[in-house]
Amino acid sequence: MNTVAFALTGLCSAWTLLGTLSVIRATRGQRLPESVARRVEDPLFTNPDRGQAGSERAGRARDLPPVSVLKPLCGKDAGLADNLESFFLQDHPNLELVFGVQRPDDPAIGVVQALAARYPQVATKLVIHPGSGAINPKVDNLLGMLPHASHDLLLISDSNVRAPAHYVSEMVETLLADPRNGLVTNLFAGTGENGLGSALENVQLNGFCAAGSALPTLLGDALVIGKSMLFSRQVFEALGGFRRVADVLAEDYVMGKLFQHGGYRVRIAPTVLDNVTCGMTVRGFVQRQQRWAMLRSRLRPAAQLACN
């Protein structure tokens, strides 16, 4: 019995250490938070060459290819307006925002319309469609939005994601850094908890989920978090496209595997995004974890057994 206990303790310790090192490695090179960056760029903290470096960065940004950001929506989540506004404030010079809902009375419509009116300089499309019959509701929404996306580079981003201004540019830079890269994703930090259920959810996101995504992905066994995915539409269509994941629950996991098995690399961009978690009850947290445990038991039964 002692041998088993020691073995389990060693396994858990190794997982914790390797997971922590993987998160550190994946986020190395993360850009400074905007509040800190503004302070660093102040003349009191910089040298005379700083202005030239800033111009060079701006020039590189102008050379980035255009991006269509796909934001599937359903209902008005807590903090939705602030989450969506962070995408209207991106520094990428050529992007369009495509929002999709499947009901004409969805309360998210008003939020999008208000932001589009506030930021008329940002190319924005609001797609209201009945869906296409896919079993996976998120993919069903994406399939209705896809014909309205103008660009080859597609960035899928969930409604509860809040991103810094450099997010889209950094994603594109990461994808283009190596021609073997096929898909770029991010790690997430749960924020905004306003109760025990939300706090428990954020602990799970910031611990197990971050390490569980970073470690296998860095080792070449892609485990993608679908809250943030950038890829070439042309490449993805050649691998089967959204129709290939229309009737599976873990579409993000399967998409990562499609790119991996197609000979492409899955990369984690350095910036950790905010996953805003508000209003979740303890019961909701337990039900969510039950669903994820069911998924893990089917996708990675040995890993799930070890975690239990």
pLDDT in tens, 75-105: 988 789 999 999 999 999 999 999 999 999 9
- What pLDDT score does 52 carry? 47
Distance between alpha carbon 162 and the CA centroid of its chain, in Å?
10
For residue 188, the SS3 value is: strand
Domain ranges, ordered by start, for the chain? 20-40+61-307
CA angle 169, 117, 76 (to 5 degrees): 80
CA angle 99, 100, 104 (to 5 degrees): 120
236, 262 Cβ separation under 8 angstroms: no
Q: Bigger pLDDT: 77 or 211? A: 77
Candidates 96, 154, 99, 150; CA nearest to 121 is: 96
**Range scoring the smallest mean pLDDT among 25-34, 89-98, 135-144, 282-291:** 25-34
What the block records as the tokens of 240 is 């089967």
Q: Whole-angstrom Cα distance, residue 268 to residue 25?
A: 10
**Range scoring the smallest mean pLDDT among 41-55, 102-116, 209-223, 229-243:** 41-55
Phi, psi of 63 (to 5 degrees): -85, -5
- Mean pLDDT score across all residues of the chain: 80
This prediction's pTM: 0.79
Buried b (16+ CB within 10 A) or exposed e, 176-194: eeeeebbbbbbbbebbbbe
Q: What is the pLDDT of residues 258-291, one digit of tens each?
A: 999 999 999 999 998 988 877 767 776 666 666 6
Which CATH fold would you assign to the domain 20-40+61-307?
Spore Coat Polysaccharide Biosynthesis Protein SpsA; Chain A (3.90.550)
Query: How far is residue 140 from each of residues 86, 147, 158, measured CA to CA in Å?
Result: 25, 13, 14
Percentage of the chain with pLDDT > 90? Answer: 51
- What pLDDT score does 229 carry? 97
Phi, psi of 110 (to 5 degrees): -60, -35
Which amino acid appears at position 173 of this protein? E
The beta-strand segments (E) located in the chain are 67-72, 95-101, 123-128, 153-157, 161-162, 181-185, 188-191, 228-232, 265-268, 273-276
